[in-house]
Amino acid sequence: MPQPHLWKRSEVIDALDQPISNPYQVLRPTDASVKPNKHAPDPMKWLEENSNNKYAETAKERDFWRSVPAWGKHISPKPRAALISLVRNSELEGLMQSMRQLEYHWNRKYNYPWVFFNDEEFSDEFKAATQNLTNAQCYYEVVPQEHWSLPDWIDEGRFMNSLEYLGAIGVGKGWMVSYRHMCRWNSGFFYKHPRLKDFDWYWRVEPDVHFFCSIDYDIFRFMRDNNLKYGFNMNILDDARSFPSLWSRTRSFINAHPEHIHPDADLDWLLDNDSPSSSSSATFSSAGGGGGSGEYNNCQFFSNFEVGSLAFFRSAANEAYFNWLDRAGGFYYERFGDAPIHTLSVAMFVPKSEIWFFRDIGYQHDINRHCPPNSAHRCDCEPTRLDENFYKLVPLESPQRKPADTCIRRFLGGGGLVEKKEGWNADVERAWGGDGYGGYVLSGLE
């Protein structure tokens, strides 16, 4: 078997156009929403010390870890982690594209297993073709029926009406039954699959996505060693007509279960008080129950890319929240997506310092693309602006609520990222054909 190519330190250094002291510097929330703590892990320092493929595996090490039954909890210095993908047999080609790129840019050096999930058996062709693309172990799993079917408390007539209505008004895949099951599975069931019992971390991968940059550190060790719970790389708006009651349900959850809210959680970046750029025909006028000020601004981590802690998703808080939403029927009477749900859950139950923006991972899903500005990341893509994907999925003209600053800036907060240049004016910018989201002191490409 050919040896995987391991990047040597010298190769990585040769690739740098210029010395860069800290390619990550503007990427972290630096405002008051992150509690100072001098004992907290320092992800920047970690990256300086552990990049250059420090933990790349030899073939021998890989074979050793493959031979360990169930990734033995007590002997493993390597995080028990997997690349996971829910995918159909018919999406094999698209998945092969995603796999080839992620293997080439990262996993051939780290050999984390792949776990494929499907609502039916995988074909032999699917199994053979995917296993061919990796030296790592592959698992092929069927989703249990009870995780992929209409719960008995759902009124079928009401569900049918919703399919017809959301289809008619043009909400993406609003008419598809399977899409509803998929969103619900990604929200509340993937982490309960028996195959993931022996795993602590996952990286979600979809068919037909792109990875553009060589990643020269072990993403999962990075998450574990820095006590991170959730990592994302796009933070954007999506069609809020798919979840009209999500915020009012969430607010009532907060009122009913304040004990689950983490003391260092920061929800502010997701809540906007009425601002000039948000419409008066707010989607959530029916929100009741009080519980803090502000309305959900519809920002969400774009969850087709995510790296996360399974322990977090299995936690009592996340489970209680998922069940709360599920009982109310939002996956079927509306089309709740896993993206806003993961976003709200992470924001409520995880301190902001444990959420990570993977600015260094170049990635594309359909028309949304994220490419880091810094050549230190060895990317085959043209750098994108920090705000690039903000309203790609929701036209500016849409009446849905939008935040006053772009989602990623709302998340990152201080450090100049939401400061505007002196004299800048949104109305003037719009009058001259702009979108009203310019004028920031920092472009994000610094």
Query: What is the three-class DSSP state of 250?
Result: helix
Q: Going edge to edge, which strands form the sheet with 201-204?
A: 138-142, 114-118, 81-86, 201-204, 306-309, 230-232, 355-357
The residue within the footprint of ligand GDP, chosen from 11, 198, 206, 225 (CB under 6 A), is 206
Q: Using CB under 5 A as the criterion, which residues of the chain lie in contact with Mn ion when the complex forms? A: 206, 304
Query: What is the three-class DSSP state of 218?
Result: coil
Distance (Å) of CA 65 to CA 222, 398, 411, 438: 19, 51, 37, 50
Which of 182/412 has CB closer to ligand GDP?
Answer: 182
Residue 90 as a binder of ligand GDP (CB under 6 A): the answer is no
Q: Is 306 a catalytic residue?
A: yes
Distance in Å, CB of 120 to ligand GDP, minimum: 7
Residue 328 as a binder of ligand GDP (CB under 6 A): the answer is no
**DSSP secondary structure code for residue 252 in this structure:** H
Q: Residue 353 touches which of ligand GDP, Mn ion, none (CB < 5 to 8 A by kind)?
A: none
Query: Distance (Å, rounded) from C-alpha 247 to C-alpha 197?
Result: 31
Percentages helix, strand, coil for the chain (3-state, rounded to 5) are 35, 10, 50
Residue 178 as a binder of ligand GDP (CB under 6 A): the answer is yes
Which of 207/372 has CB closer to ligand GDP?
Answer: 207
Buried b (16+ CB within 10 A) or exposed e, 155-191: eeeebeebbeebeeeebeebbeeebbbbbbbbbbbbb
Which of 179/243 has CB closer to ligand GDP?
Answer: 179
* Amino acid sitting at position 351: P
Site for ligand GDP in 26-85 (CB under 6 A): none
Smallest CA-to-CA distance from 430 within 386, 393, 396 is with 396
Query: Distance (Å, rounded) from C-alpha 358 to C-alpha 28?
Result: 10
Which residue number has the CB closest to ligand GDP? Answer: 178
Residue 392 as a binder of ligand GDP (CB under 6 A): the answer is no
Stretch 101-130: interaction string toward ligand GDP, x if CB under 6 A: -----------------xx-----------
Active-site option among 91, 306, 334, 354: 306
Q: Residue 136 touches which of ligand GDP, Mn ion, none (CB < 5 to 8 A by kind)?
A: none
Residue 195 as a binder of ligand GDP (CB under 6 A): the answer is no
Which of 106/179 has CB closer to Mn ion?
Answer: 179
Which of 366/382 has CB closer to Mn ion?
Answer: 366
Distance in Å, CB of 208 to ligand GDP, minimum: 8
Residue 149 as a binder of ligand GDP (CB under 6 A): the answer is no
Which of 189/253 has CB closer to ligand GDP?
Answer: 189
Query: Distance (Å, rounded) from C-alpha 396 to C-alpha 429?
Result: 14
The residue within the footprint of ligand GDP, chosen from 86, 102, 325, 407 (CB under 6 A), is 86
Smallest CA-to-CA distance from 241 within 170, 292, 192, 180 is with 170
List residues binding ligand GDP (CB under 6 A): 86-88, 91, 118-119, 178-179, 182, 206-207, 304
Known catalytic residues are 306
